[in-house]
Amino acid sequence: MLGSGKGSNFMAIADAVAAGRLAAEIAVVVSDVPTAGILDHARARGLRAVHLPPGRFRSKLDEESEPRLIQLLTEARIDWVVLAGFMRILKGEFLRHFEQRVVNIHPSLLPSFPGLEAWKQALAYGVKQTGCTVHLVDQGIDTGPIVAQEAVPVLGDDTPESLHARIQVAEQRVYPAALHQLLSGRVRIEGRRTFPV
């Protein structure tokens, strides 16, 4: 699992694994941010937690850190890469290496509001419904095949914080469930579309 933030999705996924609702093992948790909550939570659960210095760019890994990440994950013999608030764009070499095996959660109903702070975009646009999307990662930004979505209402008195909090509750429900389907081979991918098997 890769993350840069507080790790609420990590917690929900780790809880689902512990409860037997998600047939998976979390081999390693990696963050580009040394103080990220996701690393503390992983360590508190006895999982391997690694800080990966991202190098000289702000929004992606540089030409040294990307191969280092590929090597680390390969040595950890992972089958899937689960992004949980990882704030660096992964592309090229990394995605070719783990093709169709990188999953992300995005805090909007894609294809609406890709990119950063999607809940703020939704609030500013004035939509009445937004939500979250579990999708496979392709070479675009938040453009890969959609695996699962859950809608949440936007309320009249919402602030960015209250809306994001409501979306995160949905994320913590939908992500472990979608991962269970995906990792146990119950999702067939055909072009952009995915189907239950």
Q: Which residues are catalytic?
A: 106
Contact code string over 87-126 relative to ligand GRF, x by CB under 6 A: ------------------xxx-------------------
Q: What is the nearest approach in angstroms of ligand GRF to the Cβ of residue 197?
A: 26
Which member of 73, 84, 174, 178 binds ligand GRF (CB under 6 A)? 84
Query: Which of these ranges, 3-11, 14-22, 23-31, 143-151, lies near ligand GRF under the rule CB under 6 A?
Result: 3-11
- Least distance to ligand GRF, CB of residue 88, Å: 11
| Contact status, residue 139 vs residue 95, Cβ threshold 8 Å | yes
Residue showing the smallest CB distance to ligand GRF in the complex: 85
C-alpha–C-alpha distance, residues 137 and 144, integer Å: 5
Closest CB to ligand GRF among residues 94, 106: 106
Angle at 11 between CA 115 and CA 133, to 5 degrees: 30
Shortest separation between residue 190's beta carbon and ligand GRF, angstroms: 25
Closer residue to ligand GRF, CB minimum distance, 65 or 130 = 130
Contact string (CB under 6 A) for ligand GRF, positions 140-179, x = contact: ----------------------------x--x--------
CA 52 from centroid of its chain's CA atoms: 17
Burial class (CB in 10 A: 0-12, 13-18, 19+), 29: buried
Each as own residue / partner, the long-range contacts of residues 77-81 (CB below 8 Å, 24 or more positions apart, any chain) are 77/27, 78/27, 78/28, 79/183, 80/24, 80/179, 80/182, 80/183, 81/1, 81/2
Rounded to a whole number of angstroms, the minimum distance from the CB of residue 13 to ligand GRF is: 9
Q: Which of 65, 56, 4, 1 is nearest to 27 (CA)?
A: 1
Residue 111: asked if its preceding bond is cis (omega within 30°), the reply is: yes
CB nearer to ligand GRF: pick between 45 and 67: 45
Interaction site with ligand GRF (CB under 6 A): 3, 5-10, 38, 84-85, 105-107, 132, 168, 171
